[in-house]
A = this chain, B = another copy of it.
Amino acid sequence: MIRGLLSVLLVLVAVAVSSSLAKPEKNIAKRGKRIPQTLSRGWGDQLIWAQTYEEALYWARAQNKPLMVIFHLEDCPHSASMKKAFAEDKDIQKVLDEDFIILNLVYETTDKHLSPDGQYVPRIIFVDPSMTVRADITGRYSNRMYAYEPSDIQLLLSNMQKAKKLLKTEL
């Protein structure tokens, strides 16, 4: 019995209400068939995506690679424009494929470390394989430090290079 999860649930509900999170999309194709949902959700169909944060952390650790977590929403225009720029940028896609563990989420996790300055989308957070959230790797906007816009693609690429310089750790 998961009574202990009740508080987590309440947090989740609060998060969902306050962030107006997307309902599970029902992509109905022309012939009445739904299009299977993909893990990439359009952020890079050729990349290998982790499904969950637990899985992503495991792979980051096992392969000693930094993790990039993208928070977004399907029906958010800022997310959509960032996604397009992101998916079309060959440098970003190449570096991600070779050097990163990647995860995109349309739902917040219960881990507060992934929202250092709040829950908003789009938001890109790096996590070192030592399992340290790289709160030091930020974008251009002081009010939403982990937000990126399409014009920030070069900054994102340079932040990826920062994330690749792994933190020293005593682990």
Contact = CB atoms under 8 A, between A and B. Distances in A.
A54 interface: yes
Interface residues of A, number: 48
Contact of A61 (B13, B48, B52, B171): B13
Nearest to A34: B46
A154 interface: no
Given A39-B38, A58-B13, A52 B111 contact: no
Interface string A92-129: 00000000000001111111010000000000000100
A1 B132 contact: yes
Contact of A39 (B3, B36, B55, B113): B36
Interface in A31-64: 33-34, 36-40, 45-46, 48-55, 57-59, 61-62
A105 to B, nearest CB: 7
A110 B8 CA distance: 14
A25, A33, A52, A171 pick with most chain B CB within 10 angstroms: A52
A51 B55 CA distance: 12
Interface of A: 1-3, 5-6, 8-9, 12-13, 16, 24-26, 33-34, 36-40, 45-46, 48-55, 57-59, 61-62, 105-111, 113, 127, 131-133, 171
